[in-house]
Amino acid sequence: MKTVQHAAYEILRRHGLTTIFGNPGSNELPFLKHFPSDFRYILGLHEGVVTGMADGYAQATGNPAFVNLHSAAGTGNAMGALANAWNSHTPLVVTSGQQVRSTIGMEPLLANVDAVNLPRPLVKWSTEPASAEDVPRSFAQAIHIARTPATGPVYLSIPYDDWDQPAPEYAHYLAARDVQHAGLPSETILQALADRLQRATNPVLVLGPDVDAQHANESAVALAERLKMPAWMAPSAPRCSFPTTHACFRGVLPAGIASISRLLDGHDLILVVGAPVFRYHQYEPGALLPAGAELVSITCDVLEAARAPMGDAIVADIALTLEALAARVEPAQRAMPAAIARPAAAAETQGRLTPERVFDIVDEIAPQDAIYVNESTSTTNLMWQRLRMTSQGSYYFAAAGGLGFAMPAAVGIQLAQPGRRVIGIIGDGSANYGITALWTAAQYSIPTIFIIMKNGTYGALRWFAGVLGVEDVPGLDVPGIDFCALARGYGVEALHADSGASLTAALERALSSSRPTLIEVETLA
């Protein structure tokens, strides 16, 4: 007899979801029994880390990742990571175990009360199948919803006594079917947008993470070059969608209304691709657009299109639309933007290193196709200025700003991209939110490099305290943490760097190793 469990694994296998990220509890054990030999289970020690690893893995592969959490408690522990996944359009299929179906109403221990509503609004779809027979169909639906644009996390709560029930007779259809998405705009819409770009006297391109996620960076470059327009990354950029060494590249827009309008002043048409319009952070009132400017956005997310306060929007496939636009527009008869000069090399200092010096050393030594995962939030602008990121999929950042993303995501990304080196650059305040990811990296010999920028304070909070004029608040410092000792306790090689020479030697050693390495760098605040 084919059981619900057998049918579920067949569906997962059919769609390539054979890596399971999890931290199991009693409700999940029946799903995991007789674990198939062609699947692998990646254990994390906390559900936030589990979900963060899956987030990085899914973003780096471009395919859904499967997450197995423990009932309500595990889901609650994962909610911060789900916020990042939701905002980065990461396709995750998240399951949690539920108590025995006949007892849920009595609310026994480990019952997931109101399971469907628990993860909302941080998932595209949430369900608890009405019967055991409907579990396989719900699995298939979850995968299709997760991977259809705008991609994102979905959630299933499954009573643990369902797994041994007979599968429905139609289960073989579920494993065989596929759902495809085609989203190229009509000729009329494409031509109207191309004409609008062609008529603009000073257009500007603003790119978001969905460009990189859909492997459309080259098309973005082609469009910028044909129209000879500057290219910015959208505020708080979670990915890098344009080569930072290109003459058209201008950097990352700040996350304030007035600052964005100031930097885009003089442009008559703003084309935003693959990003919200706009994701602001610090409250900085001003004009939403500079005087005389119009805005058009191309997005895969109808919710982002609908909630934008200004401009026109086209909901479409990012890659197909960018490619079609780049081929359609005529080369502009104006000069290419002048390249922004790279900053001068940072000077060596006595004692603690400046963040600028750290990034210069990393840029010099790391492979050209290195992947950077950032959670040193106070030094993000310096990182964008000094690290040369030219390959697709070279940069990741927490899309919702939630700490605890970088360490587990770096492990998941390295697992997904074994041919490239992943370097997590993480503040000492941020590192503590995902520190147990070190154990997973060690246990599975995942050679991620973790650089801890140790300055003893929450640098981004100190900056924001200045913005808000509240410098006297408590809880902004995190002294007395020995990250080398923590790393060794989890089984990861640890190196301490307090000079340019020692950081150079440590990074070279880490790059030559096939095991994970943590480098604790003493930096100036």
Q: Which of 25, 97, 152, 404 is catalytic?
A: 25
Q: CA quadruple 67, 68, 73, 75: dihedral positive or negative?
A: positive
Joined tokens for residue 396: 């990741």
Q: Could you say which of 15, 46, 47, 88 is catalytic?
A: 47
Fold of the 4-176 domain = Rossmann fold (3.40.50)
Annotated catalytic, 225?
Answer: no
Q: Where are the domains of the chain?
A: 4-176, 187-328, 355-522
**Residue 208 appears among annotated catalytic residues:** no
Asked if the domains 4-176 and 187-328 are classified in one and the same CATH topology, the answer is: yes
Could you say which of 6, 172, 281, 496 is catalytic? 281
**Residue 316 in tokens:** 């479409």
Tell me, yes or no, if 520 is annotated catalytic: no
pTM for the model: 0.95
CATH of 355-522, one of 3.40.50.970, 3.30.1950.10, 3.30.9.90, 3.40.50.720: 3.40.50.970
Contacts of 525 (CB under 8 A, 6+ apart): 455, 456, 457, 459, 462
Tell me how far apart the alpha carbons of residues 454 and 431 are, in angstroms, rounded to a whole number.
Answer: 10
| Residue 25 annotated in active site | yes
Active site residue 281: yes
The answer for residues whose C-beta is within 8 angstroms of residue 514's C-beta and 6 or more apart is: 445, 447
Catalytic residue among 16, 26, 105, 292: 26
| CATH code for the part of the protein at 187-328 | 3.40.50.1220
Based on the residue annotation, tell me whether 105 is a catalytic residue of this protein.
Answer: no
Per-residue pLDDT of the chain (525 residues; tens, 9 = 90+): 899 999 999 999 999 999 999 999 999 999 999 999 999 999 999 999 999 999 999 999 999 999 999 999 999 999 999 999 999 999 999 999 999 999 999 999 999 999 999 999 999 999 999 999 999 999 999 999 999 999 999 999 999 999 999 999 999 999 999 999 888 999 999 999 999 999 999 999 999 999 999 999 999 999 999 999 999 999 999 999 999 999 999 999 999 999 999 999 999 999 999 999 999 998 899 999 999 999 999 999 999 999 999 999 999 999 999 999 999 999 999 999 998 988 999 988 888 899 999 999 999 999 999 999 999 988 999 999 999 999 999 999 999 988 999 999 999 999 999 999 999 999 998 999 999 999 999 999 999 999 999 986 665 555 555 666 767 667 667 777 999 999 999 999 999 999 999 999 999 999 999 999 999 999 987
